[in-house]
Amino acid sequence: MTAACGTRLPSRDFTAPPTAAPTGTGGAAPIRVGVITSATSPVGGDTFVGPRDGAEAYFARLDAHGGINGHPVTVVTCDDGGSGVGDTSCAHRLVDQDKVFALVATTALDYAAAPYVSAHDVPDIGGQPLGTAYDTYPHLYGIYGSDAPRDGATGWHGTLVAGTEVYRYFKQEQHARTAAVVYYNQADSARYANQVVRGLRTEGYRVVPEEADFALPDFSAVAADLRAHHVDILFDALDTGGNSQLCKAMQAAHVTVAAKVTNVQNWDSNVPSAYAGAPGCRRALWVTGSSRDYDDTANPQVAAFRSGMAAYRAAHGGSPSYLSQWQLEGWAAGMWLRDALSGCPAPGTTTGSVGAARACVERFMNRPQGYDAHGLLLPATFHSLPAPPRTARDCLSVARWEPGADGGRGGWVPQGPDMTRNCFTVPQLPYKP
């Protein structure tokens, strides 16, 4: 594990709200940052807004402490509506009209504008890899890093790789042996499920694939099959509604599993309402990812994030109690830009043109050391390996939903060991996206 570069600003600046008026930004030219989000989309309202909210909260807190080298940050957001046409329109508006210096925390259902952003040398930092753009184009830096060449072709001549560390963890730490993978008879769902099945089998699991009809899913039959096969761990390639129906069917059939594993997109505080009719599923929920649990409040950086989000929610009239892992990763994306730009001449000043400042930022992004957002992320790098690795040492963050946590309100409790030590040397399985 490579060590991340230390912060250029003291950590204490981000552990408590300011007690005095902000200083250092009066009269300084602002740095304009764009955020493209599928805030409205066919998937549903607010599905993708977490990274945007986290980034905005971070920059608000940053400006309260002097901005970047005395320059305030102006955040310009754009909702692409979840379509490729809307995404391209957002990129043109932000790059051509608003003249943003960089994009941060992009979360686009269809990132059709990725080639345009890359062609204009606009750094896109800490985006969520919902598609393949962050493994395809230069100048684009996904929140989890990438080893692919990123030369305009996806991965290595159209091939990407995925590690098996999640399945290794549950096999070694939780002694899981029989896994079910529930998915729809729909292309994207089935493709992802096949990838999960392959990873599980590589790690020696007995796997029970369960296909459900996308239009009229019979989750009662799925639940009965889970019980018949004595499944002890459950993975899925379903939407939120499908997960809720599956859990209710499992509850009705008295089916329990040791772990129902979900992903970072569902790592939020909405669990009590999302699984209101299935307390058995709530008690079995586990989540894995590449960032530190937002409920790990003993960590000072997590505490700073929680404080910043509370202030942001209060300022925007939202619920201060709602939190998500994607918010934390959006916060980390904003921090990444701050750290990258802190050692560079501010764009548009007499000492630094926009091009020079962007080149300086990209040198930071492409350095050999991993970046960990001061402990919020597993170290991310952009190595551009000439060939896909056969094995890699992969680490993961793991948490479990505990209904009695947070004074009985429920919360995600980190599961040991710490994510920086929860590492496995595992195969990297090739797949075609």
DSSP character at residue 128: -
Residues 6 or more apart whose CB falls under 8 angstroms from that of 423 comprise: 1, 165, 393, 394, 395, 396
What pLDDT was estimated at residue 20?
33
Between CA 306 and CA 15 the distance in angstroms is: 10
Determine whether 60 is exposed, middle or buried from the number of CB atoms within 10 Å of its CB (0-12, 13-18, 19+). middle
pLDDT digits (tens, 9 = 90+) for 369-424: 999 999 999 999 999 999 999 999 999 999 999 999 988 889 999 998 999 999 99
Q: Are strands 423-431 and 391-395 parallel, antiparallel or unpaired?
A: antiparallel
- β-partners of residue 162 are 429
What is the strand order of the sheet 73-79 is part of? 73-79, 31-37, 102-104, 124-127, 140-142
Strands of 112-218, DSSP E? 124-127, 140-142, 160-163, 178-184, 206-212
Residues 6 or more apart whose CB falls under 8 angstroms from that of 295 comprise: 302, 323, 399, 405, 406, 411, 412, 413, 414
Position 182: which residue type?
Answer: V
Segments of the chain scoring below 50 in pLDDT: 1-24
Between CA 347 and CA 396 the distance in angstroms is: 36
What pLDDT was estimated at residue 1?
31
- Residue showing tokens 């859990």: 247
Model pTM score: 0.91
